[in-house]
């Protein structure tokens, strides 16, 4: 039996350590991992838990991230609770296998510490890796601070392993800003956390020899489409389970999570939509601006996938102007968050003025002052009744002002 760890009511943990503690409390059977900055401390800490008797499961060191996720798939198909961690280039190498995991409906938990993707090589946080996972069929949950990284990693097991979901889940946090910043975290005691997730329930596991089953079959044009549609529906339907798990977690801890987080949105006239640590920056800015009389609010998709199309639409239907902030360079298009928020808003009668900011690439700081400037710019759009800037702009970029596309349409 694994040793229990005595935890204080309030611990000082960074996002990495918070995620690793959640993996330990979940009593994962197999962690198959290849460490990479900035998520290295997650598997490093986990390795120490195993070595010191705090975990009964196996820690498998492999030769690449492709192998790490492949090992996770094998262990999950065999019938175990499985998790790993990665970032950036490691995530990119893992991508081919991510699709296998979701296609086989294996509830693996992947803690992703978001980092920029080379070239140029960069170890700092942006959302290039997270965005690259958006069509991979995983549930993608985003934590904005260390407490959330802990809470949501526990929730991830319960969501993915639910018999109505059975899909892999990523829990994202921002590289360094979240992963390496020590903050106050309120953990659960080991038994409470484990009992919240529950004992792992296998489904069609390969190690049940009386029910031989093939994983990873080949399907061509006569079958592939039906299987993919069924998988897509499972991810869409996971919305209800996510809501239920969040509600149960609130009952246990008092901490509330929603698929779309809304801050100061009850009477907001201008809004920022963002992911990751920038959400907290924008919240701080909105609070300060309210003292100046600008009704600013923040909307944050807690679940990047499944995307809360209707929740985003409802959250923003009464604002006059909104800017969608993308921390990943879309390379020849508008940002993903802008595109998805725009599409949601387009299906409503009320369509606020919307613009797109690219920001924070490669760990470029996103300050409160900059968030306030963007809010004020939204206010100027709202007062003018139309966009006063290009639709897509760049925040915190040196050199001549860069922008793309214009519109004369008001709201």
Residues within the interface to other proteins (CB under 8 A): 103-106, 166, 203-204, 209-217, 219, 222-223, 225-227, 229-231, 233-234
Q: In angstroms, give the least distance from the CB of 367 to other proteins.
A: 45
Listed in sequence order, the residues at least 6 apart from 17 whose beta carbon sits closer than 8 Å to its beta carbon are 41, 45, 146
Q: Which is nearer to other proteins, 215 or 404 (CB)?
A: 215
- Calculate ∠ Cα 275-279-285, nearest 5°: 150
Q: How far is the CB of 79 from other proteins (least distance, A)?
A: 13
Q: Which is nearer to other proteins, 139 or 270 (CB)?
A: 139
- How distant is the alpha carbon of residue 224 from its chain centre? 28
Min separation Cβ 384 and other proteins, Å: 48
- Rank residues 237 and 406 by Cβ distance to other proteins and give the closer one: 237
Write out the two tokens for 203. 């489904």
Minimal distance, residue 204 CB to other proteins, in Å: 5
Strands 58-61 and 82-86, how do they pair?
A: unpaired
- Between 99 and 284, whose beta carbon lies closer to other proteins? 99
Between CA 66 and CA 80 the distance in angstroms is 19
Task: Specify the residue, 76 or 299, whose C-beta has the smaller distance to other proteins.
Answer: 76
Q: Are 150 and 13 in contact (CB under 8 A)?
A: yes
* Nearest CA among 335, 259, 344 for reference residue 300: 259
Complex with other proteins: residue 170 or 286, whichever CB lies closer: 170
Least gap, CB of 241 to other proteins (angstroms): 15
What is the total residue count of the chain?
411
Q: What stretches of 29-118 adopt beta strand conformation (E)?
A: 30-33, 58-61, 82-86, 109-114
Classify strands 58-61 and 30-33 as parallel, antiparallel or unpaired. Answer: parallel
CB 52 → other proteins: shortest distance, Å?
Answer: 36
């Amino acid at each position: 039996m694994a040793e229990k760890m005595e935890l204080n009511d309030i611990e000082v943990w960074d996002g990495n350590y918070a995620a690793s503690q959640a993996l330990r409390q979940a009593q994962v059977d197999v962690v198959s991992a290849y460490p990479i900055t900035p998520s290295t401390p997650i598997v490093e800490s986990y390795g120490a838990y195993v070595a010191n008797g705090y975990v009964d499961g196996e820690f498998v060191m492999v030769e690449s991230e492709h192998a790490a996720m492949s090992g996770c798939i094998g262990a999950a198909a065999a019938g175990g609770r499985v998790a790993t961690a990665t970032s950036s280039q490691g995530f990119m190498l893992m991508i081919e296998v991510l699709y296998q995991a979701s296609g086989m409906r294996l509830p693996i938990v992947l803690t992703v510490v978001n980092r920029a993707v080379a070239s140029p090589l960069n170890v700092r946080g942006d959302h290039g890796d997270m965005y690259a996972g958006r069509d991979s069929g995983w549930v993608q949950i985003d934590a904005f601070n260390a407490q959330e990284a802990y809470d949501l990693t526990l929730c991830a097991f319960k969501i993915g392993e639910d018999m109505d979901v059975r899909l892999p889940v990523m829990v994202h946090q921002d590289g360094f800003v979240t992963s390496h910043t020590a903050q106050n975290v309120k953990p659960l005691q080991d038994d409470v956390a484990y009992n919240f997730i529950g004992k792992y329930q296998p489904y069609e596991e390969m190690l049940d020899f009386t029910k031989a089953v093939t994983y990873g079959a080949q399907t061509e044009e006569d079958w592939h489409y039906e299987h993919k549609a069924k998988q897509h529906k499972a991810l869409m339907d996971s919305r209800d389970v996510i809501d239920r798990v969040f509600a149960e977690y609130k009952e246990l801890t008092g901490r509330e999570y929603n698929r779309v987080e809304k801050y100061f949105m009850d009477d907001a006239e201008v809004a920022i939509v963002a992911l990751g640590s920038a959400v907290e920056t924008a919240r701080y800015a909105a609070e300060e601006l309210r003292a100046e009389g600008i009704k600013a609010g923040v909307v944050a998709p807690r679940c990047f996938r499944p995307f809360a199309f209707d929740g985003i639409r409802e959250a923003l239907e009464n604002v006059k102007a909104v800017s969608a902030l993308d921390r990943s360079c879309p390379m020849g298009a508008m940002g993903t968050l802008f595109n998805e928020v725009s599409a949601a808003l387009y299906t409503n009668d009320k369509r606020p003025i919307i613009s797109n900011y690219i920001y924070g690439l490669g760990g470029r700081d996103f300050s409160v002052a900059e968030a306030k400037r963007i809010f004020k710019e939204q206010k100027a759009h709202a007062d003018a009744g139309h966009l006063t800037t290009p639709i897509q702009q760049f925040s915190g970029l040196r050199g001549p002002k860069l922008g793309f596309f214009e519109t004369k349409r008001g709201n």
